Structure formats: C-alpha cells, structure tokens
Structure 1
Amino acid sequence: MAEITAQGDVDWCSFDLKNQQSEITGEVGTPIYLYLKQNTTENDRTAKIAVTFSDNYTTTLTLTQTAFSVTADYDKAWGEQPEYRENSDYTYKTYYTTLANGYNVRNYSICYDRNRHVSNWVAYPNIKDYWSSHAYQAHNSNGRTDAWAYDDWTTQYMSSYPYYEQIGTNVQPPAIAESDQQYIIRGYGASGYDRGHMLPSASRYSTWTTNAQTFFATNMMPQNSTLNQKIWATLEGKIRGWECRDTLFVVKGTCFKNTKTINNQNGPIAVPSHCWALVLRTRNGNLKKKISDCTADELKAIGFVFTNDAAGAATSIKDAARSVQEIEELSEFKFFRNLSPDAAEAVKSQNNPADWSL
C-alpha cells in the first residue's frame, strides 16, 4: 500500500487523476501513478509518501515540487547552473550524451550570444565517468576527436585527415542556426588566437559523441594562443584533479570589456577581454547531498580570471584566483543559482587558494 501522509495545506498530489485519492494498493512490479497539480506559488512544496509491503516493511519517500518559474525548462537543480538572464540575443541550451557506462546524462549547458557568436558561459559537471573511458576509434591515442563542427552535426571517425566526417545532423533543441555560429572548421585565420575550448576535450573522453560535442562552435572562444596552450590548460588539468565522489561543478566563460572582433564567414566573432573559470564542490567530497541542501561550511568555491592576452598568459593560477562574487561583478552574471539563500553569500565570497592546494 502507498499513502500520501503529508502534502501541506493544499492537496496537490493524488493517486487518481480526477479525484483526490491519498491511498492506493497494488502488487510489486505493477506501476502506481501519482498525479500532481501545477505549482503556481513562489515556494517549493513537499509531500511524504509512505509505502508498506506485505511483510510490513515500510519506507517513506519525499517528493519535492519546485516553485513556479517562467523559465521552467531552464531552472533545473543542477549545481553548476547560473541564474537565467533575459536577453533577446541569448540562447540557453543543454547538450545530452550517453556515456560508455550506458547512462544518458547532460554533457554541458551554454548561454550562447548569437550576436557575438560566443557563449557567455559554459557550465558542466566534473565527474570521472565523463573522461575515464575511451570507447571509440580516434586518430590519436587519447581519444580527442578534433571534430570541429556546428552544433547540429553528427560526426564519425575517418582514417585520413581531417580524421572525421559529417554523417548527418542531430538538432538538440533549441536550434541555433549555423549562420549564427562561428565557422571554425579551419580555425579563425587570425594570428595569435586558438579555438579555445570552454569545456575541455580532455574532460570528455567517454564516447565519440561525448568528446565531439566539445568541438562544437558554441563551446569555442577566440583565446590567446599562449594562454590557451599553457596556464589555461594547466588550470583545466587541476580542475579534473579536483574531482571527488560528490560532483565538482564548473562554469567557464567570457567577458567583453572591449569591442575587438575576428572576421569570420558567418559574421564577426567577438574576442573576449577576459577568460574566467569557477568551481564549486563539497569540502569533504562525499556528502551525497544536493548543493541546495548544503550549509556554507560544507561547501568551497573559487574562481580564476585571466586577461585574454600575453599578460594573462603570464599570470599564475594562484594570482588569478578570485571569489565568485568578484567574477559576478566582472561578468554581470549570477552563478550557482541552486545554493541555498543562507549559504550563498558566504560561499561566493570565498577566495582561499590553500583550500585547493594552490
């Protein structure tokens, strides 16, 4: 038997679609359906469901229905998710993939600026399952596909240069027109700038698709070549090394304090003045709790900012360290939206390189 034992002052969930039914019986293996009314309030609400088996074993399940939001498709409980910021030029999108272990998961999310042709930020979970396997053929030993592409391309391995080919399209909604993306198949053609990954290829070696998605134009920024190949790459390696049993949540992005651009066949690509990265995790690495349920003393966060030039390339990781609050002020975005209100200020004000062995 299953029984709804508590759901607050309003009856919003039931075992019957039309009538308010709080109890139901059934057999093990037979689905029981629970119907929910829309939450139109500004607060989350919870229900308790007690399940009793024939041997009198009882367990209680807790169901949480989140508050009403006009951006419901975006407001997911992922720890890396920044706050939604309305702008007619922005497209918010999440790429999904299936890992070598068979799990269908989010790969990364973006806030893409179609006017600048660059993402404002890319947010992703850092878990070893994403890079610990190499279950596909590539032209090198590490699993890097080098499948530079628009984000609606499906690609596969090819034995000769460029070592991949387009075999179709697979548009993950919302669609971003190819004409609104960077044309990056042959690089920028601008001296001193690399196609800089925000989500690094080396963090996504599990399957061909998982890695190929990191070569989408929407994951690229024009990045100073020395910065990209040296200290930024070193930071990326350290971030993978901070992986723990709990998820490490990462956001990387761009800031535009000038109007510099690179010519491109799909229109000018804005060159970031700054490149930054943010990380958030539980302190002991094994709490098995959602970020929203953690107190400030259970979490640690830090950020890093580099100017996108030779001076940035010469900056050490420790000297680049900043608080999340400082990068919010620089970028004008708000990060880690799922921190509890009680913890947010304390966590976002942290800037303790020693906490990260720096």
Structure 2
Amino acid sequence: MKFFGYILLFLSSHLGLFAQAFLPAAPSGQVIHHRHYSLCYAESHEQASWVYYELTAYEASSGRYERTDNFRENPKVTTGSASLSDYRASGYDRGHLAPAGDMAFSMTALSESFYLSNMSPQHPSFNRGIWKQLEGLARSWAVGQSVLYVATGPVLEPGLRRIGPNQVSIPNRFYKVLLDYDEENGSYSAIGFILPNRKGQGPLAAYAVSVDEVERLTGIDFYSQLPDSIETIVEKKIDPGYWDWQAAPVTRTGKSPAIPARQCAGITQKGVRCRNRTKSETGYCHLHEGSSVGKQKAATAPKKRTTSVRCIGTTKSGARCKRNTLSRNQKCWQHGGN
C-alpha cells in the first residue's frame, strides 16, 4: 500500500511540510496548523472539534522520544485555549485527540501534542482503556498499510456539562475516522468509530460505523477532496474485512540519545534573548515555537521553492516517490528535504 498521490498540499516550511491532503471542512472555528497536525478550535466548547494528521508507517513505529507531559495552553488560539486549572480536580483526564504515541518520531511534534487545545475531558476508564486501544490499533494499521489519513475529535453538541473556569465541555462521545488508499489496485477504504465517553465494553469492531454516520453526527465533512463518485462510495460503506482486527501491537524503534537542553534562540519583547531552556530540534521554546515573532533570523537558512516539484526520492519498492516538495534539493521531508 503506497502513498496516495491524487492531491497533495504542503504547508510552508515553518509548519513543517506536513501533508494536508484531506483536511476536514471546518464548519466553524479557528483552524490552526502545527508541525504535524492541524485542528479546528471550537471556542464555545474550549477544545478542538476535529484534529487531522497523516500517519505513516515510520511515524507510527518510531519511539525515538519519550513523552514529557508538558501540558500547556496553546498560544496560537486567538481567543485563548483551555488551561490546566480547567482540568484540576475535575475527575477527568486530559485526553489526547492526536495521540502523543503518534508523534514520538519528533521532539517538536511530540511537544505540540500536549497543547491543551489537543485535549478533551475524558473519563479515566475510557482514556486509558478502549480509546488507548483504538489509538494502538490505528498505529498497527498504519504500519501494515504504509500511511493513513486520520481525523478525530469529540462530538460537540448543545447541553453538555462543563468543567473549570473556562467552562470546557465534557463530550458524551468521541469519534475517529481513517482513510487508506491502495495504489496497486486503485481501491479506497475508510472506516469510522463512535465511542461513548465511558468504560468500553466489547471489541473495537463493535464501535465501527461508516464515515457518513460520523458526518451526520458531527456535521463535519471528511475527505471532501476525493472525487464525488469515489467519496460517496467510500464514506457510505464499511468493509470490516479490509481491516486487520488482530493486528499485532507496534514494535517501537530504538530511542535517540538524550538531547541536552539549550537556551532558546528566540528574542523577547524587550529585544533580549529568551532565557528558557528547550530540547526542541528547532532551538525554540514553546513560547517561540511556530511563530515568526521573536525569532532570530537564520543567516544560512536555505530558500524554499515558490512552486512544488515531484520528489526525486525512491520508495522501498524501488518506485519514485509521488510526494511534491518545495525543498531546494527536490526531496520531500521523508527523503531528507531541506
């Protein structure tokens, strides 16, 4: 199963060149792009209505970095995100939408997964039980199928109970949708899940639904970039036999040597260098990460192309990579683009 090459958009370099091929259509809310995932922030509920990312076999199996549990507010949310005080003594977990386990291939991606905009109040038995099982199964599928396109989030509806000073909504249900494309035979397959926010009962397959059903429940349009004739078929049905429900848990690759903390390269509003310490590959702390404000200009930073070209890299099967890239060396991020 190879990378889907029908339509591919790349974000500019400061967003990490992560593929945005199937970004959900946002009904409302602020769309925010991070290094490896995007989200749509629903201010009235103080959490994301959806989170979207591409999950490759490498990313799903990498265990290079250990989680730091650096839960914090998201500076990119213009209205202000939920805060730590919202969850304190609430009885609910700060449940990841884009899992930290899917981001362990990059220190920056892993760190950004701990923004509170990527959290939703989850019952502990749900977060640590069936939700965790589904996250693990999705990683197993990504390893076996090369790449998946994942969208996930809470079902936000009127009348939900609230926690904390910012009145964060407590969802009654959560969803996840996954899309896979088999280039060899030109087939598509998608599957959805709707799970109640409580201790799970029975196998994960019992919670499987069509993408259409998730769309009806949430009002979100998933995978709208597919041709209408294909989207209608793919989202209408589910093919349980396509997905390996007995997939073996992912064996993580070795961890990287410990990265020493260094002084942030950012510049404060007073014009002096930031004193925070960071282990991020970018050299910036969470206050300056992903923002052009307060960053030092890199004198030797390579200029990006203004138009994309096809990657010159070669896949494991020996075929030419079908990704597009803005890198000067004509290679996508997976093949060492700059």
TM-score, normalised by the number of residues in structure 1: 0.59
Give unmatched runs, 5+ long, in structure 1: 1-63, 67-75, 97-106, 137-142, 153-174, 288-293
Q: Contact (CA 8 Å) 1:188, 1:195: kept in 2 or not?
A: no
Match of 2:197 in 1: 308
Q: Which runs of 4+ in 1 moved over 3 A?
A: 131-136, 185-188
Q: Give how far 1:219 is off.
A: 0.5
Aligned residues: 231
Can you list the C-alpha shifts for 1:33-86, whole angstroms capped at 9, x where unaligned? xxxxxxxxxxxxxxxxxxxxxxxxxxxxxxx999xxxxxxxxx9733311232x
Q: Any residues of structure 2 matched to 1:17-28 within 5 Å, and which?
A: none
Aligned to 2:177: 278
Aligned counterparts of 1:227 and 1:314: Cα–Cα separation in 2: 10
The aligned counterpart of 1:109 is 38
Cα pair 1:130 1:205 within 8 Å, conserved:
yes
Deviation at 1:116, TM superposition (A): 0.8
Of the two structures, which has the highest relative contact order with CA contacts closer than 8 Å and spacing of 6 or more?
Answer: 2
In structure 2, do the counterparts of structure 1 residues 315 and 329 end up closer, same or farther at CA, with 3 Å as the change threshold? Answer: farther
- Post-superposition offset of 1:213: 0.8
> In the alignment, what sits opposite 2:153?
253
Is 1:146 matched with 2:65?
A: no
Cα distance in 1 for residues equivalent to 2:19 and 2:107? 27
Q: Distance in 1 between matches of 2:117 and 2:80?
A: 10
Pairs within 5 Å for 1:1-358: 78-85=20-27, 87=28, 90-96=29-35, 107-135=36-64, 143-152=66-75, 175-177=76-78, 180-184=80-84, 187-191=87-91, 193-243=92-142, 244=144, 246-265=146-165, 267-283=166-182, 287=184, 298-310=187-199, 313-358=200-245
* Cα offsets for 1:243-297 (capped at 9, x unmatched): 15642100001113452333323x10011121010000013xx55xxxxxx96xx
The one-letter amino acid of 2:51's match is V
What secondary structure does 1:205 align onto? coil
The structure number with the bigger radius of gyration is: 1
Tell me the TM-score normalised to structure 2 length: 0.62
Inter-partner Cα distance in structure 2 for 1:232 and 1:343: 29
Cα deviations by residue, 1:123-180 (Å, 9 ceiling, x for unpaired): 11111333544555xxxxxx1121111223xxxxxxxxxxxxxxxxxxxxxx314x62
- Tell me the secondary structure at the aligned position of residue 84 of structure 2: coil
CA deviation profile, 1:194-242 (whole Å, cap 9, x unmatched): 1110111111112321111111111101011111111111110010011
Q: Which has the higher strand share?
A: 1
Shift of 1:184: 2.5
Kept in 2, the 8 Å contact 1:150–1:183? The answer is yes
Tell me the percent identity: 24
Moved more, 247-256 or 323-332: 247-256
CA pair 228-356 structure 1, distance change in 2 beyond 3 A: same
Which SS does the other structure have where 1:180 is aligned?
coil
